Chain A
């Protein structure tokens, strides 16, 4: 009997262990699971090709605002004026903080652009990320500043005089006056017409000068200027 009890005990223990082990195994499986998810960073866009227009003797560059992501507009834009003159003038760069509006613009002063033919590009920036430079804008030509005396009337550049087309022979005058400091010319705001007109003028204004003396590329491109 004793032996029987012992065997019974052994059997029970075995059963218990089997049962317990089985339940434990089913009750707590480790479930390591791994899968990958993709995330993508936004791409800094290329700048938008700007449009340009003369306003008096200044150049107004404007372009559409850009976004890096639906919830993130650009912080700033770098606007660069590239010279098309024969020996090119140094580039002129303006950094403009974004306004948050649908479009942005910046003005290059008469002193900066006088005596040159220019094209502009836009480079967007966000924090320290920088996008690619845009295509160049159409070109604008500005008469040399010197036009001191005579120029006044003729208007060194398009803005004023230009309403009349290229034929304008007066321009040569500008040329005559040598290297007078740009600033001087600008003052002659007399004619300053409403900005609206400028665009067309641009084309016209530029051409005359080059012919006379300067290498200010009289580029046929002037037509582009019209913007």
Chain B
């Protein structure tokens, strides 16, 4: 019986090890894998996410932020979610609220697949608009908008 038990245990361990190895993951087995933008940091796996700055906003103006995603890995990424929000402004009198700048939702189909080691401008964009009654204090103000994206590794 003992022989059986030992054999089964050994086989199980072997199979598991093989599977993990065969997965070909870039991280070591057992690592916590978190994908975020910007390149690898520790155990994080980051992909590139970037938005083109916009300028020339004025009361009543609307602009769009186009987003580019870079996948530095050897596997495809599937983006499930993209969003943006106003984080701060450079002028005190111009609050970081929708009264100064409205940041909309991502408009475009999701998920989007980013091929291995590929770079892609997402088909959709994020609308940004300055309300007509935005305070004059927002003149020449700089706004910081945070872009967020969530995705996962995908087979294809």
Contacts and interface: CB of A to CB of B under 8 A. Distances in A.
A11 B55 CA distance: 63
A44 B136 contact: yes
A39 B63 contact: yes
B55 A35 contact: no
Interface residues of A, number: 42
B95 to A, nearest CB: 13
A30 B34 contact: yes
Contact of A42 (B1, B9, B139): B139
A129 B56 contact: no
Interface residues of B, number: 67
A156 to B, nearest CB: 42
Given A14-B12, A22-B23, A32 B148 contact: yes
Interface string B22-55: 0101000000011111100000011101111111
A4 B5 CA distance: 8
B143 A41 contact: yes
Contacts of A22: 16, 19-20, 23
Contacts of B12: 11, 14-15, 18
B149 A33 contact: yes
B141 A31 contact: no
A132 to B, nearest CB: 11
A34 B45 CA distance: 13
Interface of B: 1, 4-5, 8-9, 11-12, 15-16, 19-20, 23, 25, 33-38, 45-47, 49-61, 63, 65, 77, 79, 84, 87, 94, 101, 128, 130, 132-134, 136, 138-155
Interface of A: 3-4, 7-8, 10-11, 14-15, 18-19, 22-23, 25-44, 68-72, 126-130
